[in-house]
Amino acid sequence: MAEYDLVVIGGGWAGFNAALRAKKLGLKAALIEKSFIGGTCLNLGCIPAKTLIQSAKVFSLTKKSSDFGVDNLNPSINFLKIQERKTKLVAGLRLGMQSMLKGVDFFNAEARVVSPQEIKLGESIIKTKFILVASGSRPAELSQLKFDGKKIVSSNELLALKEIPASLLIIGGGVIGCEFASLFSNLGTQVAIVEKMPRLLPGEDPEIAKKIENIFKKKGIRVNIDSDVRSVNLDNSNLILVSVGRSAQAGSLGLEESGVRLDRGRVIVDEYLKTNIDTIYAAGDCTAKVMLAHFAGYQGRLAVDNIFAKANSKKADSSSVPNCIFTDPEIASVGLNEERAIMEGRGININKFDFLGSGMARILDETQGFLKIISDKRSGVVLGASIIGPKATETIGILTLAVSCRLTIEQLEKTIFAHPTLSESIGEALK
């Protein structure tokens, strides 16, 4: 078998994007995936979850259609049909990804690294100049609440439910926990959240965390912050979701035997995504840097560029990665939030706009929330932004560009935003 320039292990967003970059550079590349192309994001994460969330949102909107002057009979949920739509959508995207890989050798098999330039697939050994590990992550487990796949489940099992649970207890009020709380509450489930930290979404702006907590409570979601799971009666819920983060999964690939340094399943890489072995790089969740699909894709592309254009190697930069949370209302942030900026001792200005003042938000009847922009007091450079409100995950794109390109408040002020839109809230915040 001919030697490859690059073999990528893992067909998630990091590995897929790495393979496409290698193809674009004209390299002889292979991609190995033991399960389905698309990894967690496409099959067990972003795409299926957001598909269910959209169905729940349509149901929620339909229930208040009379507020828009549209009379409707009592809407009902066909959950099996919702799941069928999700399955069909995922399968279609999977086929699309597979077709884009034309020109890259694809192996649907389990890989094991047997040397810095050799990978074992079944009984065969393939040789390569470089290896890129992109083996992803899995739901983290609690020692006192082991997954049984029936009552105590991870997000994997929750996405595959055949029926809507009457009650759901969510352990962990982070991104995944809050998204599922919002989703199932909109579908009629009695939801409770237990979070050990003093607030939901610990990494987000505290004002936004408090806002979503209040919105959840108004919807009937029981929120228990500063609470230990041991203080909760687990028998009161039909289903228990443990959503306490994700763990890198690279420990079963034989990397340590080949000399690669790992830390509890996480591949240790430098700023250029290289391991301690010159021919082995890693990208995505298995590096446990920023566990977001879009950052994984960026890492995958960057790793390939760094491998084959060492003279122009670039450090992985996580300073302007947008974080999107698909609750109802949506939450999004980028760069520094107010709390973090103050902790770093920065002099800042804060510009804020409430969606009650937005014409489009009123048209949509989604006025809960606000937008907050953080800028440097002296230079006016935009340092970060946080949003809770309608289509926050779309509006954050403009502010991500502002943070990434180090735009100033003055430059944003000169931008003409279309009216009536949600994005014009950025301009309104600066007035």
What is the bridge-based pairing of β-strands 348-354 and 266-267? Answer: unpaired
Peptide bond into 420 cis (omega under 30): yes
Give the separation between CA 31 and CA 9, rounded to whole angstroms: 6
Beta bridge partners of 107: 32
- Residue 127 host element (H or E): strand 124-133
Give the separation between CA 300 and CA 241, rounded to whole angstroms: 31
Q: Is 203 annotated as a binding residue?
A: no
What is the bridge-based pairing of β-strands 262-263 and 266-267? Answer: antiparallel
Q: Is 101 left (phi over 0), alpha (psi -120 to 50) or beta?
A: alpha
Helix locations, 333-416, DSSP H: 338-343, 359-364, 392-404, 409-413
Q: Is 178 annotated as a binding residue?
A: yes
Class of 323-429 in CATH: alpha beta
Distances (CA, A) of 89 to 160, 183, 250, 394: 14, 18, 29, 21
- Tell me what pLDDT residue 233 has: 86
Could you count the other beta carbons within 10 Å of the beta carbon of residue 311? 4
Give the separation between CA 421 and CA 431, rounded to whole angstroms: 16
The pair of structure tokens assigned to 315 is 């450090």
Give the separation between CA 40 and CA 31, rounded to whole angstroms: 16
Return residue ranges of the chain for CATH 3.50.50.60.
Answer: 4-139+247-312, 152-244
Give the separation between CA 191 and CA 185, rounded to whole angstroms: 6
Q: Is 302 annotated as a binding residue?
A: no
Give the separation between CA 152 and CA 26, rounded to whole angstroms: 47
Q: Is 179 annotated as a binding residue?
A: yes
- Tell me what pLDDT residue 140 has: 95
- Tell me what pLDDT residue 1 has: 54
Peptide bond into 329 cis (omega under 30): yes
Grouping H, G, I as helix, E, B as strand and the rest as coil, residue 303 is helix
Class of 152-244 in CATH: alpha beta
Give the separation between CA 203 and CA 343, rounded to whole angstroms: 13
Identify the CA nearest to 37 among candidates 137, 108, 102.
108
Q: Is 291 annotated as a binding residue?
A: yes
Identify the CA nearest to 8 among candidates 268, 307, 426, 218.
307
Contact status, residue 22 vs residue 104, Cβ threshold 8 Å: yes
Amino acid residing at 57: K
Vertex 392: Cα angle to 390 and 393 (nearest 5): 130
Q: Is 120 annotated as a binding residue?
A: no
Could you count the other beta carbons within 10 Å of the beta carbon of residue 23? 18
Contact status, residue 235 vs residue 169, Cβ threshold 8 Å: no
Helix locations, 135-273, DSSP H: 155-158, 175-186, 206-218
Q: Is 292 annotated as a binding residue?
A: yes
Q: Is 159 annotated as a binding residue?
A: no
Amino acid residing at 62: T
Could you count the other beta carbons within 10 Å of the beta carbon of residue 106? 16
Q: Is 10 annotated as a binding residue?
A: no
Give the separation between CA 181 and CA 52, rounded to whole angstroms: 12
Q: Is 285 annotated as a binding residue?
A: yes
Give the separation between CA 399 and CA 4, rounded to whole angstroms: 40
Give me the residues of the chain with pLDDT under 70, please.
1-2
Q: Classify domain 4-139+247-312 at the CATH topology level.
A: FAD/NAD(P)-binding domain (3.50.50)
Q: Is 176 annotated as a binding residue?
A: yes
Q: Is 195 annotated as a binding residue?
A: yes
Contact status, residue 249 vs residue 265, Cβ threshold 8 Å: yes
Question: Is 302 an annotated catalytic residue?
Answer: no
Give the separation between CA 182 and CA 206, rounded to whole angstroms: 19
Q: Is 173 annotated as a binding residue?
A: yes
Give the separation between CA 16 and CA 136, rounded to whole angstroms: 12
In residues, how long is the chain? 431
- Residue 132 host element (H or E): strand 124-133
In the set 419, 421, 422, 423, the catalytic residue is 419
Q: Is the pTM of this model over 0.85?
A: yes
